[in-house]
Each structure stands twice: as C-alpha cells, then as structure tokens.
Structure 1
Amino acid sequence: MPRQARVIVPGLPHHIVQRGHNKQPVFIENRDFQYYLDNLQEWKHTLGLEVFSYCLMTNHVHLVVKATDELTAIPQLMKRLAGRQTRFVNKIEKRTGSLWEGRYKISPIDTDHYLLSCCRYVELNPVKAGMVDAAEHYPWSSYAARIGLADCDGLDEPPTMAALGTDSQSRRERYQAFVSDGAFSEQDRQIRAAIARNKLTSGHRFVDEVERRIGLRIETRAPGRPRK
C-alpha cells in the first residue's frame, strides 16, 4: 500500500504524532521529558508557531500546532526536536542510532468542529493508557497548564476556547468539564484514523474546502460515488 503523503495547510492547527524507533521508550527520566519541552518552547518561538496542546508519553509524543504561511516551519520544528533529543539521549546513554521512527504523522484539523476534541484526545492519553487516574496528575502534558494548575510559557490558547466563556476562569472550568466527560467517542475514532493515515481531522465538506484552498486532491474518493 502506498504511503499517504503528509499535508500541511497554512493557518490550520495540526495534530502531530511521532513515535520512538520500534516503539521503544524515548523518555525515561524526568530530564528527558523536560529537555524536549524546553526545546519545544524555544523552537516554537523561533519559528513563529503556536502550540495548543501536547503530551509526552514514554514512547511517543502528541502535539497540536498551528501552521503559519511558511510551510517549512512545522517540518523544521519536528526536525529540530527529533535531532536534539536524539543527540541528548545518545550522549547520556553512550549509544548511537535513531531514536525515532523515520516519519512523523500529521493531520490538519477542522478548527471549528474538531480542535478542542483533538486537544482533549491528546491530553487524555495518559488516562486512557492507565498511567494516571486524572489528566491533571500527568506532569508531561499541557492539561494542568490549560486549567490553571501549572505554568507553561510555551502554551497558546486555541481560538475555539473563546466560545467556552467570557473570562479565563469560566473557560478553564468549561474545558475541564469537557475533558472530564471525555469517554471514548466517535470523534476519538475519527481523530485516531485521521492521524494514522495523515488525513484531515474533519468532515467531507471541510475536506472539499481545503482541497479548493490548496489546489490538491488530498483524500481518495470511491470511483463514481457522489459527495454529499
């Protein structure tokens, strides 16, 4: 089966997943996690990107990053993060070789309908993996900072957060309720399927809109089957 091409759409948030080589651990000690987050903060500022959500699991990372008009910015970010982490770990462990899988996965997100669900999906990873019983107890995700329990200078507020309340406290409380109600849903299935295949996290109408914007066919249609 041919490998699905990666698509980056200017101005859209993107769900990104990068896994350790052969699913082996990438982060073992606290310093490993912190080093990655320090580099994420540095390079997102350098490249002018916004980070809406993140979660560092032991053998993979999830990021939700908004693309700029400079389409090389996200690839540069991922190259810098992967390269620095590899050199850091290899130096400490006196080893050589790749730390990561060769290609990260990326899925442009329909901001209005899926962005907050993607952030929730990312931040609930440790809960669904049985690592913690509540998202705020996991120190290596953006959730605690999002609801005001931790500081994070490198975290940006998703535009759809504004619809949750007129002030920061009410937005935090409503987002917390939204995440707490985050049992497995149909949107979770769509998010997982989209990132696995480098497709848009969206409905058909939004796919058509993005294809018109970028002038490329990015989703495969069944022959002769009309779009709804």
Structure 2
Amino acid sequence: MARALRIAFPGACYHVTARGNERKAIFRDDHDRKQFLARLQAVVERYRVVVYAYVLMRNHYHLLVETPEGNLSEALRQLNAVYTQDFNRRSRRVGHLFQGRYKAILVDKESYLVELSRYIHLNPVRVGEVADPAQFRWSSAAAYVGRQPAASWLSVEGVLKQFGRRRSVAQRAYRQFLRDGVGQGRAAPWDAVVGQTLLGEVGWVERMRQRVSKRGMGLEVAHGAQLRARPALSVVVTQVVRATKVPRQEIVRRGGGWARALAMWLVWELCGLRQREVGAAFGVGHFAVSKAIRRAQRLQQSNRQVAKVASRLITTFQA
C-alpha cells in the first residue's frame, strides 16, 4: 500500500498520532511523560506550532496541531527524535522507539477542530483509565474544563470560543460536550476521512485535492472512496451554531427553539442517520425528532429568515 500523502502548507491543521514500535510502551512512568511535554513545549517555541489538544497514552500519543509556517515534518521529526534519545538514554537501550513515522490527517479546522479535541480527550475514558476525562493527568482536558490552568504553550481558545464568550460558561459547556461524547465510540469523525489523509467538508476536500493536483502529486483514495463523504453529526451542529448564534448546549440538549429543530432536520437530511439515531444524539425519542423535522420544514416555508439560514447551510455541505 502506498504511503499516505503528506500535505503541508502555512496554516495547515492536523490530527497526529505516533505509536510505539511493536505496540510497546513509549511512556513508562510520569518522568517520561513530563519529559515528553517538555520536549513538546520546546518544539512549539522553536517551530511556532500551535497545539490545541493532546493526550499521552501508554503506547501512543495524539496531538491536534496547526502549523502557521507549514513545517509539520520538521517539528514532528525533532519531537520524536529527541524524545527517543531521552527514552533510550534513560532505559539504556538502542533502536527505534516509534512504529515508523507518525500518522497525520489534514483537518478542516473550521469544521472538525471541536470534534477532534473531544475525540482526543476521551481516549482515556474509552480504554477505562478514568470515568471523567478531566481526571486524566496527561491530557489537555483538565485545562479545557477549568480544573487546572492551561500550559503556556497550549491553545484552548480556538475550541472554547465555540462554546461561549465567557470563559467559565464555555468551560461548563465543553465539559457537557465531553459527557455527551462518552459511549459514542470511534465511529465519528473517522467515517468521514478521505483517502486516509483528509478530514473535512466535501468542498474543503475538493480544494485540498486541487492543491495537491497543482503540485503534480495526485491523491490516493483508498478503496475507491468517494470525495463527497457525508458530514459528521457534530460538524452539522457546529455549522448551525455559527449560522444561528444559538449556543451549542441549547441545540444539543434542551431549548434552542427553531435552531434546534433545524439542526435535527439537517442531521437527518445530511448525515444518513435514522430518526432514532438522531434522537439519541439530541436526547429525545424518535417521535420528538419526527415532530422537529416537520417543524423545520414548515418554518422554511413560512419564515424567510429560517429559509435563508437553511439554504445557506445546505449549500455549505453540498458545495
């Protein structure tokens, strides 16, 4: 199988994972984890990388990063090489620590930054390390919910601003967002990854494909996957929040009025979910979803504002 294509440019955002060779531990104790974070801070300062979220598991790590200077390869090569030297020196070992190169998925920041931060923070919950992601010491979750101050090199504002203008309000809403994600499993957002390389709305994926094509590289799409992937539920909700200015927690929990009804309709229309599945995501039964869908459809016929917002959102996902 061909190696996944690396796409680098100033401002690119990535979900990065690196795993231990032969699935062995890359962090044996807290000393190793502290050392890795110190090396990560040095990379942030040297290469001007923006770190939005991270988690350090026993045999792998996850990072959500942006590269204003388009230098992901240089930054990650430095991070992994120097940490490997630290690990080998302390362990009195030689050889590779990581399983090949890191894996990087280029991410549509506007659509997937929030959802990927949750995926990263829920890793310890999924493997049974903790029940509350903010209890896990070796991730950025505690900084997001206000349990501890954010490190100087960690950028939490890019995500938290999606949940409210006031920091305390945003932190509470993000904590609820994490709770809502417990039990969802791995399916979203990874079902929307294209060619093992790109994660974004179809219009963004097409722009990235054109960028690669202009460089004469071509984009391998595994198993003939279609570029027009369905959007993830969380991405649709994010776009509704932006278009209506209604807080996310009101849309996904209770309240939210017409914006909540519109979100349910859009999720049902665009994500390929059954009404029962939509209801599970919004905390209601399928009868309530059916009622909300009918309401959204009626409002589009009778309310010019709702019709305009709905049309703009549909265009966003079908561009």
TM-score, scaled to structure 1: 0.88
- Provide the C-alpha distance between the structure 2 equivalents of 1:107 and 1:162, rounded to a whole number of angstroms: 23
Deviations 1:121-174 (A, max 9, x none): 011000001111110111100000111212322210253432311111111111
Paired position in structure 1 for 2:129: 131
Larger radius of gyration: 2
Q: Give the secondary structure class of the aligned counterpart of 1:10.
A: coil
- Provide the C-alpha distance between the structure 2 equivalents of 1:226 and 1:45, rounded to a whole number of angstroms: 36
In 2 relative to 1, CA 147–86 (structure 1 residues): closer, same or farther, beyond 3 Å?
same
Contact 1:32 1:89 in 2 (8 A): yes
Q: Greater relative contact order: 1 or 2 (C-alpha under 8 angstroms, separation 6 or more)?
A: 1
Equivalences for residues 58-97 of structure 1 within 5 A: 58-68=58-68, 70-71=69-70, 73-97=71-95
Q: Comparing both structures, which one devotes a greater share of its residues to helix?
A: 2
Paired position in structure 2 for 1:201: 199
Q: CA deviation at 1:220?
A: 2.7
In 2 relative to 1, CA 60–221 (structure 1 residues): closer, same or farther, beyond 3 Å?
closer
Runs of 5+ in structure 2 lacking a partner? 229-317
- 1:212 partner letter: Q
Count of residues paired in the alignment = 224
Contact 2:7 2:106 in 1 (8 A): yes
After superposition, the CA RMSD in angstroms is 2.5
Q: Give the secondary structure class of the aligned counterpart of 2:198.
A: coil
TM-score, scaled to structure 2: 0.64
More off after superposition, 76-85 vs 117-126: 76-85
In 2 relative to 1, CA 207–92 (structure 1 residues): closer, same or farther, beyond 3 Å?
same
- Provide the C-alpha distance between the structure 1 equivalents of 2:28 and 2:60, rounded to a whole number of angstroms: 12
- Provide the C-alpha distance between the structure 2 equivalents of 1:195 and 1:100, rounded to a whole number of angstroms: 24
- Provide the C-alpha distance between the structure 1 equivalents of 2:196 and 2:227, rounded to a whole number of angstroms: 23
Q: Give the secondary structure class of the aligned counterpart of 1:31.
A: helix
Paired position in structure 2 for 1:31: 31
- Provide the C-alpha distance between the structure 1 equivalents of 2:134 and 2:178, rounded to a whole number of angstroms: 10
In 2 relative to 1, CA 222–92 (structure 1 residues): closer, same or farther, beyond 3 Å?
closer
Paired position in structure 2 for 1:45: 45
More off after superposition, 148-157 vs 196-205: 196-205
- Provide the C-alpha distance between the structure 2 equivalents of 1:41 and 1:57, rounded to a whole number of angstroms: 18
1:122 pairs with 2:115: no
Q: CA deviation at 1:85?
A: 1.5
Deviations 1:93-121 (A, max 9, x none): 11111111111100111122211110100
In 2 relative to 1, CA 40–198 (structure 1 residues): closer, same or farther, beyond 3 Å?
farther
In 2 relative to 1, CA 194–141 (structure 1 residues): closer, same or farther, beyond 3 Å?
farther
